[in-house]
Amino acid sequence: MSEAAHRIDLQDARARILAAALEEFSRHGVEGATLRQIAERAGTQHQLIVYHFKTKDALWKAVVSDICAQPHEALRSMERDASDPTDKLRRLVRGFVELTARQPQLHRMVTFEGRTDSERLRWWLSELSSPFYALSTRLIRQAQEAGHARQGHPGRLHYAMVGVATTSFTFEHEYRTLTGLDPFNRAEIEAVAGLACDLLGLPQQPTDAVQETEARQRAILMAAMLRAVYWFDEALQAGLAAHGEGRFSRAQSMLIVNVVAGENRSARIADNLGVTRQAISLMIRDLIGRHVLHLEPDPADRRARIVAFDPRFRATAELGSRVMADVERALEARIGSDSIAALRHGLQKDWGPPPIAPEPS
C-alpha cells in the first residue's frame, strides 16, 4: 500500500470512529461506552482508536468539538451582529432547534454529563456551553427591556427554552410513540421552534408581513423550486421510514443528492450547500458511520480523497428509487401529466451559464 493510500485509510478510519463514538456516547454515556464497543461499531481495531485519540475522554471531546465547530462560529458571528436583539434571539433559538434536530445525539451526550460534576462537564461549560448561555441570556434581557420578551430570570427562561427545543428530538422514540408525531418532520421542527419562541414571549411576525413574504416567495421561481425540493425530501423520508429505514437530516439528504448528481469532492459539496467544509466533513463522517458513504482515493490526486457510496447502501438506494417513483406517480395524479411533462421539459433543457445581472440604471 502506498503512503498516500495508507493516509487515506487512516483518515477514513478516524471518520468512522468519530461517528461510532457519537452513537455509543449518546446511548451509554462515557462511563457506559467502551473503546472496544466503539471499535466494533466503527469496524476497526481498538488500537487504532488509541492511536488517533489516546483516551476515551479525548475521544469524547473530539466528537463534541466536531459537532459544535460550525454552531460555535455562528455564535461568534452573531456576537458581532448589530441587528435588533429580539430578531437575533429568534434566530438564535431557531438555530439551536435546527442543531438539535440535526444532531440529537449531542444533547443526549451532554445530558449524561450534566448529572454529575466531572472534568468533561467543566470543559463543556467553559469551551462551548458558556458562550451560548451568555449570548442567550443577554439577548433575553435586552428583549425584556424592549418589552418583547417574557419577564423573569433570563437563566431560568434560557433553560426552559432549551427544554422545549430538545425534548422531542432527544426522546424521539417516546415522543413518536405517544404523540404519533415525527419529531424530524420539517413541519414539526418548525412547530418546536415556534413553541420555543412563544415560551420566551417573543412577538410573532405580523400577519401582513408573513402573507407578504409568502406571496413574494410564490412569485419567485427559485423559492418555488426550493419548496418543491423540500416537498420531495419529506415524501422520500416518510417513504423510507415506512419501510423501517432511519431518517436523514435535511442537510444529509441534500449531501446525498449531490453525490447522486456526481459531486464527489467535499469542498465542492460544501460550496453547493453553502456551509463550511468542517460542517460537510462532520456530515460525511456521520454517513460513513451509517454505511451510506465511504472515502476513496482521488484518481486525479492520490493524496486526496473523494466521496462515494458505500456498497452496503445499495439496498437502501434501490428502495429510495422505488419510493421516489411512487411519489412522482402520486404527484402526476394530483397536478396532471401535462404539468409533469412541462416541468421535466423545462428542467432538462440546457439553461446555459448563470447570467450576470445588469448594472442598475
Return the higher-pLDDT residue of 13 and 163. Answer: 163
Indicate whether 358 pLDDT > 70: no
H-only helix segments in 33-84: 35-42, 46-53, 56-80
List, in sequence order, every beta strand (DSSP E) within the chain.
293-298, 301-309
Instruction: Decide if 22 is inside a domain.
Output: no
Q: What is the mean pLDDT of the chain?
A: 84
Indicate whether 235 pLDDT > 50: yes
Gap between the Cα atoms of 313 and 332, Å rounded: 29
Gap between the Cα atoms of 212 and 209, Å rounded: 5
SS3 299: coil
Most confident of the following: 120-124, 150-154, 252-256: 150-154
pLDDT, tens only, 306-349: 899 999 888 888 888 898 999 899 988 988 888 989 999 998 99
Region 296-309 average pLDDT: 83
pLDDT, tens only, 149-187: 999 999 999 999 999 999 999 998 899 889 988 888 888
Check residue 52 and give its pLDDT: 84
Check residue 205 and give its pLDDT: 64
Instruction: Decide if 295 is inside a domain.
Output: no
Of 23-37, 131-145, 236-250, 296-310, the least confident: 236-250
Task: Note the pTM of the prediction, 2 decimals.
Answer: 0.65
Scan for cell 432547534, then name that residue.
97
Of 95-104, 248-257, 350-359, the least confident: 350-359
Instruction: Decide if 56 is inside a domain.
Output: no
Among residues 348, 299, 226, 209, the alpha carbon closest in space to that of 5 is found at 299
Scan for cell 469496524, then name that residue.
43
Check residue 239 and give its pLDDT: 83
Most confident of the following: 38-42, 118-122, 159-163: 159-163
Indicate whether 10 pLDDT > 70: no
Instruction: Decide if 281 is inside a domain.
Output: no
Indicate whether 213 pLDDT > 60: no
What is the DSSP code string of 130-148?
HHHHHHHHHHHHHHHHTT-
> Would you state the cell numbers that stand for residue 135, as one nine-digit string?
449570548
Q: Give how far Cα 41 sits from Cα of 5, 67, 129, 289, Å.
A: 23, 19, 29, 8
Among residues 175, 169, 181, 43, the alpha carbon closest in space to that of 107 is found at 169
Domain that holds residue 130: 81-204
Instruction: Decide if 156 is inside a domain.
Output: yes
CATH number, domain of 169, equals 1.10.357.10
Domains contained in the chain, number: 1
Instruction: Decide if 133 is inside a domain.
Output: yes
SS3 102: helix
Region 76-92 average pLDDT: 86
Instruction: Decide if 111 is inside a domain.
Output: yes
What is the DSSP code string of 141-167?
HHHHHTT-S--S-HHHHHHHHHHHHHH
Check residue 4 and give its pLDDT: 47
Return the higher-pLDDT residue of 115 and 166. Answer: 166
Beta bridge partners of 296: 306
Task: Let me know how long the chain is.
Answer: 361
Indicate whether 6 pLDDT > 50: no
Check residue 1 and give its pLDDT: 45
Return the higher-pLDDT residue of 135 and 217. Answer: 135
Among residues 296, 308, 285, the alpha carbon closest in space to that of 18 is found at 285
Instruction: Decide if 224 is inside a domain.
Output: no
Indicate whether 59 pLDDT > 80: yes
Gap between the Cα atoms of 249 and 255, Å rounded: 10
Other beta carbons within 10 Å of 39? 22
Check residue 149 and give its pLDDT: 94
